[in-house]
Amino acid sequence: MTLDEFGRHYRSTFASLVDSKIVVALSGGADSVALLHLLHATDTGLTLLAVHIHHRTRGLEADDDASFCERLCAELSIPFVLHRLPRLHSGPEGREATWRRARYTALKEIASNWGADAIATGHQRDDVAEGVLVQLLRGAGPRAMAGIAASQGELIRPLLPWSHLDLCTWLEEHNIRWREDSSNRSTDHLRNQVRHELLPLLERSSPALRRHLVRFAAALAADEEFMAGELEDKNLWIDVWHPNGGVPLEALRALAPALRVRWLHSQAARSGIGRVTHRQGEHLNELLAGDRSALTLARRWSLRRASDRLWLEPPILPPAFEFTLKPNQRADLPLPGWTTVFRPVKNEPGENGWYIPVPENANPIVRSPQAQDRLPNDQPVGSLFRRQLPRHLRNSWPIFVIDDKMMWVPGMGIDIGLTNGNWMIEVTRK
């Protein structure tokens, strides 16, 4: 590789990020050091901030890595941030995944505070090949084996066209030093076993194996991109916190089997639930066929059938609440994303919510449902909620009370009494 080749690749792949502010994740290893030098030397008008994440492991070696990165940035006149992670306990996904999540959380927070346009990481072509084998050995499906995207949200990976050897060769040609992490040589972790043992063994029979794996990942990524587009066009997403947020069972049954599995993965990702297992994908078909009423997902979320629709139920229900609405003060409801305000009628509210006109002296109270709440026909409010609300919203959907009388239930068609006034109560979604 050459500096010109890298520059052309960056400008064509990340055209919108020329003349931008970029946070560079700098570990001190060959890949990240090459990334920092290439971004610094390339004529792309970038403003860089290097961030080194210290995991508080490996003792003096880790301290030396941090010192090396700081000196390197001082030589290049690049601002440097050293961020020390708290001592972390291994989560259910394992130590490496726990560290990875904490590392990216810190990078994103630093980037946001600095006003960065993107975060650049040193992932290269070998990481893609190794990742395919790692996911295959873990029993993952095509979605997980689809490789590493050049850009994903605020993350960019400018080095994917080159191998680790390419980058080391470039560094050596320019007399640039880097650090070797001793933990990368340990075969206690699956990825290192793949890197140091399995891949070299397989390459004896297939010398071009790494290229084959990268092409395989690219083909899977193209398929996944196509199916993701199909799902976006169909727009069958569950809105957990909306009273009408379920999706019709018939619409999901009509999806091709491959799209149903992708839908489940995408829905879980959208809702922050976590990974979906192969068995859960199989159980989805049983759920749609009526052979089961619910499917438990990661972190105790549930996918549940009710009223010919499919709903997502959170593991923890919103708490009971009650408070008085103060004039012109917007208040968050315990339902994520929902707010309410008591304000003068100056303009119509947006489409994503409801409102009711009230007198200025209304002094409204908003609270969760109570057993004594009744409809105008003297039926319990609970009977209405059982017909119109998913289970996880029935004990927390807001009820508005004025002078100890239930006056309004937003979205449920309950509007008792007060029908005019120069003020309004509004419930909207952020």
- For residue 360, what pLDDT is reported? 86
Q: Is 255 within a domain?
A: yes
| Same domain as 339, residue 281 | no
Q: What count of Cα atoms within 13 Å lies in the side-chain half-sphere of residue 136?
A: 14
Q: Contact at 8 Å (CB) between 316 and 241?
A: no
DSSP character string of 114-147: HT-SEEE---BHHHHHHHHHHHHHTT--TTTTS-
Q: Mean per-residue pLDDT for 33-50?
A: 97
Q: Are strands 47-54 and 80-84 parallel, antiparallel or unpaired?
A: parallel
Q: Mean per-residue pLDDT for 281-310?
A: 94
Q: Mean per-residue pLDDT for 129-151?
A: 92
| Same domain as 397, residue 332 | yes
Q: Average model confidence (pLDDT) for the chain?
A: 92
Q: Is 226 within a domain?
A: no
Q: Is 201 within a domain?
A: yes
Quote the percentage of the chain above a pLDDT of 70: 96
Q: What CATH number did the domain enclosing 141 receive?
A: 3.40.50.620
| Same domain as 384, residue 295 | no
| Same domain as 263, residue 161 | no
DSSP assignment letter at 151: E
Tell me the residue range of the domain where 394 lies. 322-429
Q: Mean per-residue pLDDT for 154-158?
A: 97
Q: Mean per-residue pLDDT for 364-383?
A: 91
Q: What CATH number did the domain enclosing 304 receive?
A: 1.20.59
- For residue 140, what pLDDT is reported? 87
Q: Mean per-residue pLDDT for 265-270?
A: 94
pLDDT range class, residue 185, cuts 50, 70, 90? confident
- For residue 211, what pLDDT is reported? 95
Quote the percentage of the chain above a pLDDT of 90: 77
Q: Is 393 within a domain?
A: yes
| Same domain as 153, residue 259 | no
Q: Which two tokens stand for residue 396?
A: 């927390």
| Same domain as 52, residue 188 | yes
| Torsion over CA: 20, 171, 178, 94 (sign) | positive
| Same domain as 358, residue 245 | no
| Same domain as 161, residue 292 | no
| Same domain as 288, residue 387 | no
Domain finish residue from 250, 278, 313: 313
| Same domain as 327, residue 287 | no
Q: Is 327 within a domain?
A: yes
Q: Contact at 8 Å (CB) between 366 and 398?
A: yes
Please give the biggest Cα pair distance in the chain: 85
Q: Is 53 within a domain?
A: yes
How many structural domains comprise the chain?
Answer: 3
Tell me how far apart the alpha carbons of residues 424 and 68 are, in angstroms, rounded to a whole number.
Answer: 61
Assess whether pLDDT exceeds 80 at residue 91.
no
Tell me how far apart the alpha carbons of residues 206 and 97 are, in angstroms, rounded to a whole number.
Answer: 31
| Same domain as 42, residue 178 | yes
- For residue 313, what pLDDT is reported? 97
Q: Is 235 within a domain?
A: no
- For residue 366, what pLDDT is reported? 97
Rg (CA), the chain: 27
Question: Which residues, 6+ apart, have CB-to-CB distance to 286 below 8 Å?
Answer: 292
Assess whether pLDDT exceeds 70 at residue 172.
yes
Assess whether pLDDT exceeds 80 at residue 80.
yes
Q: Is 270 within a domain?
A: yes
Domain finish residue from 217, 249, 271: 217
pLDDT tens readout for residues 194-213: 999 999 999 999 999 999 99
Query: 376 phi and psi, to 5 degrees?
Result: -55, -30
| Same domain as 54, residue 34 | yes
